Copies of this chain bind each other. A is one copy, B any other.
């Protein structure tokens, strides 16, 4: 009974992941998200939990890695593969060669994403170090001024 997943409208999905319906439609138009299957022209789009997760993944990769939607379309194949894989897994015992293919492709794309994450972290750390160094200098100057100022203007 809890089998048939509850279908969500585009506005609900948008709010869940923190974006707008327009963005979701745009991603669909670009092929980043799968189009609601067998949707009559003009009919409402309906989504499952799986679509929400996929959108979350896409958005997070875009935001935190600063990727273009073109970049995402390559990396997002990994997620599609993951969904397909899960379906095949649950759908029946498929060809193990096929399974291996999907898994190895997913591994390649995951490693690519992990490499991008590592680079980002290096950038972040470099920026953090520079900012901390500047902060030290500023507080240092303030300390010098501080004693002066306190001695000079201590009468209030």
Name A's B-contacting residues (CB within 8 A): 60-61, 63-66, 82, 96-97, 99-100, 103-104, 106-107, 110-111, 113-114, 117, 120-121, 123-124, 127-128, 131-132, 134-135, 138-139, 141-142, 145, 148-149, 152
The CA of A66 and the CA of B106, in the complex, are separated in Å by 27
Given the known inter-chain contacts A142-B103, A145-B99, please indicate yes or no for A135 contacting B123, CB distance below 8 A: no
Given the known inter-chain contacts A103-B138, A124-B124, A138-B106, please indicate yes or no for A131 contacting B145, CB distance below 8 A: no
Chain B residue at smallest Cβ distance from A107: B138
The CA of A124 and the CA of B63, in the complex, are separated in Å by 10
Chain B residue at smallest Cβ distance from A123: B64
Contact pick for A128, options B63, B121, B138, B145, CB 8 Å: B121
Q: Using Cβ atoms and an 8 Å threshold, which residues of chain B touch A63?
A: 66, 123
Given the known inter-chain contacts A123-B64, A148-B96, please indicate yes or no for A142 contacting B104, CB distance below 8 A: yes
The CA of A110 and the CA of B134, in the complex, are separated in Å by 8
Q: Are A110 and B135 in contact (CB under 8 A)?
A: yes
Q: Are A131 and B103 in contact (CB under 8 A)?
A: no
The CA of A120 and the CA of B128, in the complex, are separated in Å by 11
Q: Are A121 and B124 in contact (CB under 8 A)?
A: yes
